Amino acid sequence: MNLGDYVVRISYGKDVVFRIQGFTEKRLAVLKGVQYRLLADAPIDDLEPVPAPVLQEDSRGISLLEKNRLHFAGLRKTEKPFFEVPGTILHLDGDAMYLRKSMALYSELRIPAEGYHLKESEMAEALVRLLPKVKPDIVVVTGHDGIIKHRFDGDKQNINNYKNSLNFLNAVRVARAYERNRDALTIVAGACQSHFEALLQAGANFASSPARILIHALDPVYIASKSAYTPVKETVNLYDVITHTVSGLDGLGGIETRGNFRVGLPRVGGEN
């Protein structure tokens, strides 16, 4: 096994593809999920090499990027007298690789977005200075999370049993204190197995994970993008947006929320 190899864990039924990020002194491999927001370690003899996966593919073989293109195709008419103003996004991510993928997708969809790679524990403090500077319509706070198995006491409602749910909760509270109106600032929060109920109660519009499952790396991006392109006079179709994520209703949930997309007149110059 070498640094950068793609592997699966035999003891977990080879369910998730990881990439080896490093090795510990105890001969454990440090692993990061390729498509799921998951950090783990495993004995080297529990790993099996696999070919490099096709990135950004969901379980049904439809790329997330193509899925977004199909959903927003109706807004991409060449002959239109108006210009488009999708909602702006501020994205904080605890994983640099997933942040790069997220920013690439925002760019493809022509959504104005700023992204910052930060430790989950630094996100709340960072939002204090970034929110007044960026003035976003949508905030995404995500990265890595999960139930801490070695100290789990069986209570999924105890936020101290989670790796980063408390950090995400603190970030949501800062954002919601900045803008209390849930229709004026849409907040998407959480990662794999995050404490869904706590994040919603703190003020998130959308959060993971109701069934404490792994979520696809780009699921929060899909929800933020859908919100950015839902007309401001309409609410985001909850069932539609969540069921079109890879993780579905077990992975993400939310509350009724107005969209952030506006049109303006007249269109001047080239295509917007």
Beta strands in the chain (DSSP E): 6-9, 18-23, 28-33, 39-43, 47-49, 83-85, 89-93, 113-117, 138-142, 186-189, 206-207, 253-254, 262-264
Tokens encoding 50? 């696999």
The pLDDT of residue 41: 83
CATH code of the domain in which 213 resides = 3.40.50.2300
The pLDDT of residue 270: 58
SS3 180: coil
Same domain, 164 and 245: yes
Same domain, 112 and 188: yes
Strand (E) or helix (H) holding 202: helix 196-202
The pLDDT of residue 58: 42
The reply to whether 15 falls in a domain is yes
- From the CA atom positions of the chain, what is the Rg in Å? 19
Backbone angles phi, psi at 222, to 5 degrees: -60, -45
> Could you give the maximum distance between any two Cα atoms of the chain, in Å?
65
Neighbour count for residue 261 (Cβ, 10 Å): 21
The pLDDT of residue 191: 95
C-alpha to C-alpha distance for 204 and 73, rounded to whole angstroms: 28
Same domain, 111 and 167: yes
Same domain, 188 and 239: yes
The reply to whether 59 falls in a domain is no
The reply to whether 268 falls in a domain is no
Tell the residue number behind the tokens 């210009």, with chain if given: 83
Same domain, 191 and 78: yes
The pLDDT of residue 251: 95
Q: Hey, what amino acid is at 93? A: D
Q: Hey, what amino acid is at 50? A: V
The reply to whether 134 falls in a domain is yes
* pTM confidence score: 0.82
pLDDT tens track of the chain, all 272 residues?
788 888 999 988 888 888 888 888 778 888 888 878 777 788 888 898 888 775 544 433 334 545 555 455 554 445 567 888 999 999 999 999 899 999 999 998 999 999 999 999 999 999 999 999 999 999 999 999 998 877 777 788 999 999 999 999 999 999 999 999 999 999 999 999 999 999 999 999 999 999 999 999 899 999 999 999 999 999 999 998 998 898 999 999 999 999 999 999 888 775 55
Same domain, 72 and 109: yes
Q: Hey, what amino acid is at 65? A: L
C-alpha to C-alpha distance for 205 and 185, rounded to whole angstroms: 9
The reply to whether 229 falls in a domain is yes
Residue 38 belongs to domain spanning: 6-49
C-alpha to C-alpha distance for 9 and 226, rounded to whole angstroms: 34
Same domain, 111 and 203: yes
